[in-house]
Amino acid sequence: MMNRIRKIRRLIIRVPKDKANFVYYLLESHEGLLFHTTLDNDKQLGYRDIEMNGCLSLTNEINHLLEEMKTSANIEILSDQIITDSRDPNSI
């Protein structure tokens, strides 16, 4: 069976440290919309960088969440890319 090559959306956002818990709460409350992880950085910095990955079919929902986070948590989008995810769907 041929592997299906899928495209996913990868974002990296910068969150002020004092708003990070709120952003994590928003991400958790939208379970299944995006998979996220905190990127390593100096704990003394005043921000957290978060990588998020999601399906292209959920672009409208992701955009809505990003706008909500921009307004309520003053996030900055550092990167917004469409990438190829070529993992074997049978291995997931």
Question: What are the structural domain ranges in the chain?
Answer: 6-83
pLDDT at position 69 is 97
Query: What DSSP string runs through 20-66?
Result: HHHHHHHHHHTTTT-EEEEPP--TTSSEEEEEEEEEGGGHHHHHHHH
Q: pLDDT in tens for each of the 92 residues of the chain?
A: 455 678 999 999 999 999 999 999 999 999 999 999 999 988 789 999 999 999 999 999 999 999 999 999 999 999 999 999 866 455 44
**C-alpha–C-alpha distance, residues 51 and 38, integer Å:** 6
pLDDT at position 41 is 82
Give residues with Cβ within 8 angstroms of 48, minimum separation 6: 14, 15, 17, 20, 23, 38, 39, 41
CATH of domain 6-83: 3.30.70.260
pLDDT at position 19 is 97
